[in-house]
Amino acid sequence: MTPLFALSIYWHFPVLIVAFSLVYSGTHHDRWDRILREAAGWVVKITGFLVAVGVVLYGLSSWL
Amino acid sequence: MATPSPTPPPTPARRLDWPAAALSYLLPGLGQVLQGRVGKGVMFFVCLYGLFFYGLWMGQRLNVWVPEPSKLPDIGLPLFGRLSGTPKALAHRPQFLLQVGIGVAAWPAIAQYVAHDPAADPAGPPAVPFLKDYMLAPSETKLNDLQRPRDTTFDLAWVFTVIAGALNLLVIYDALAGPVVPDDEEFPARPSPKKSGAA
């Protein structure tokens, strides 16, 4: 079975997550402190969601 | 008995900056730069062009294009009936509707679509000489070859370009009307206009 992070597709996600978080937050605020704080929050939320989905799917594929 | 709470003052209307919005469509962040928000404009440009061209690179530069409608099967939509021409091409390739949101960077696909002659020899000279086959609709054989391997990077790649185009719509709105959540310190309420009836 393929290890969870052996597939190269996952290594492209940081580019998407960082760009999305910065741009989305940048359209909500004009002050850099607020932009960066909201962007950091989005990075954590999106990464957490993707990791959770990945772990669940990996578990299902491993034990079912 | 509870006293009624005072009504909040009306939010001042935002001034819409249409030229800046148009510039931000052409080049992400350009409208913000001309508004004096240079850092934010540069950040938008770097992030969105980075995301768009990263997706283009992931997809071996074969994921931003408009297909030739004459080679496609018929397609119909409710209320619109059977489609033909450009609507038919876009119905077969709806991704492009968001990809084109990135602005000038996606225009080579439009140029290729407009200049392409379906009757021309595929081995002949390119329809747009300086573009060659850049953003030209690939052959079905080539697309099948790209999607045959187990690696799904090619399928993920066009999603990156679509997200970049969709995010630029938010950037255009930011150039048009300012940030979604105005920062009070930077957008003070405009003084209320004098009442015309006041002496």
What 3-state DSSP class applies to B35? coil
Q: Chain A: nearest CA to B134, how far in angstroms?
A: 23
- Give the ipTM of the model, two decimals please: 0.87
Least Cα distance to B153 among B66, B64, B56 occurs for B56
Which residue among A23, A32, A34 sits closest to B167, beta carbon to beta carbon? Answer: A23
Question: What pLDDT, on the 0 to 100 scale, is given for residue B124?
Answer: 79
What are the extents of the domains in chain A? Answer: 11-58
Residue ranges of chain A whose pLDDT lies below 70 = 1-8
Q: Which residues are B81's β-sheet partners?
A: B77
**pLDDT tens sequence across B33-44:** 999 999 999 999
Which residue among A7, A16, A18 sits closest to B163, beta carbon to beta carbon? Answer: A16
- Are B83 and B181 spatial neighbours (Cβ–Cβ below 8 Å)? no
**pLDDT tens sequence across A40-55:** 999 999 999 999 998 9
Task: For residues B48 and B26, give the distance between their C-alpha atoms in angstroms, rounded to a whole number.
Answer: 12
Task: For residues B166 and A1, give the distance between their C-alpha atoms in angstroms, rounded to a whole number.
Answer: 36
Element (H, E) at B81: strand B81-82
Task: For residues B41 and A20, give the distance between their C-alpha atoms in angstroms, rounded to a whole number.
Answer: 15
